[in-house]
Amino acid sequence: MKGSLALLGATVVGFLGVVTLHSPSSQSVPVSKVTSPKTNGTTTSSPQPPNSGPTTTTTVTVPPSNVNGSAVGQSENYSFGVMAVKVTIASNRIVGLSVASLQTLESYSQQLEQYAVPLLKAEVLQAQSTKISAVSGATYTSEAYAYSIQSALDSLHFK
């Protein structure tokens, strides 16, 4: 009974905390809508409807980004070993992928990696992202490969 009361109390406190964090602040200010960048690198804001209260219109200039460079993703620990992938980007396109480090627990894992990585590489290069399908029979390897690539892309500020 004592444990049930403590659990109920903790639930109520947690619920109140979530409600407090998600309720609008009295100091909230409406944000104007910003459109996507045009080819010249400037954006404009759309006007607010009448009687919507006080608003501030802001124009934001977003320079077009041109990502170039290479980065090695985080080492991803998966069921059969540890893998890190190097990503090369030129003119906002993924142009190169290679396994920077691989430590497998057994020879079968090494063979699996040699089979799966070329297929995964082709998919990433075609999709230009890590939104790819896993290789059947190499699910953990596929996930580790994609996670390592995504961490490298994040460090390069790509997409």
pLDDT digits (tens, 9 = 90+) for 15-36: 655 555 544 444 433 433 434 4
Average pLDDT score over residue span 77-95: 94
Strands (E), the chain: 69-72, 76-78, 81-90, 93-104
pLDDT of 112:
86
Query: For 49, left (φ over 0), alpha (ψ -120 to 50), or beta?
Result: beta
Average pLDDT score over residue span 94-112: 91
pLDDT band for position 39 (50/70/90)?
A: very low
Parse the chain into domains and list their residue ranges: 31-64, 69-155
Taking alpha carbons only, the member of 109, 78, 59, 95 closest to residue 86 is: 95
Query: For 154, left (φ over 0), alpha (ψ -120 to 50), or beta?
Result: alpha
CATH assignment of 69-155, given 3.30.930.10, 3.90.1300.10, 1.20.120.1200, 3.90.1010.20?
3.90.1010.20
pLDDT of 92:
92
- Overall pTM surpassing 0.85 (yes/no): no
pLDDT digits (tens, 9 = 90+) for 50-78: 555 566 666 554 445 688 999 999 999 99
